[in-house]
Amino acid sequence: MWIRTLDDRVINSLQIESLEVVETYPDEVDPQDIEAELVEPDYYEVVAVLASGDEALVHACEDAQEAFLAYDLITATLARGTYRDGTQVREVTSVVDLLERERQSHN
């Protein structure tokens, strides 16, 4: 399966070692304030860590719920090799595509 990144690269899912949700804060925020949970993240990134050690940004958003839904959708799709409805993934996909399919399935 191939996945489109936010910078329009296409990566082979077999090269993904792990996925993680990363909270991103403004540069001027004191790390101690982050540790003490005194500031909220600006946005959340879903990052694929590749076998080469490189990282690929596959999703970014301001909403924590959306970020974790995106994470759940991409991990489930990678594990199954199909979309949630059982349809095989036959083309390059992206987290945006997965989120759109999820929204449509609830309408």
- Residue 56 has a pLDDT of 96
Candidates 6, 59, 67, 19; CA nearest to 41 is 67
Residue ranges per domain, the chain? Answer: 2-94
Higher pLDDT, 24 or 105: 24
Residue by residue, DSSP assigns 3-37 as EE-TTS-EEEGGGEEEEEEEEE--TTS-HHHHHTT
How confident is the model over 12-40, as pLDDT tens digits? 999 999 999 999 998 888 888 888 888 89
How confident is the model over 46-99, as pLDDT tens digits? 999 999 999 999 999 999 999 999 999 999 999 998 888 888 998 999 999 999
| Sheet strand arrangement including 43-50 | 16-24, 43-50, 55-61
pTM over 0.85: yes
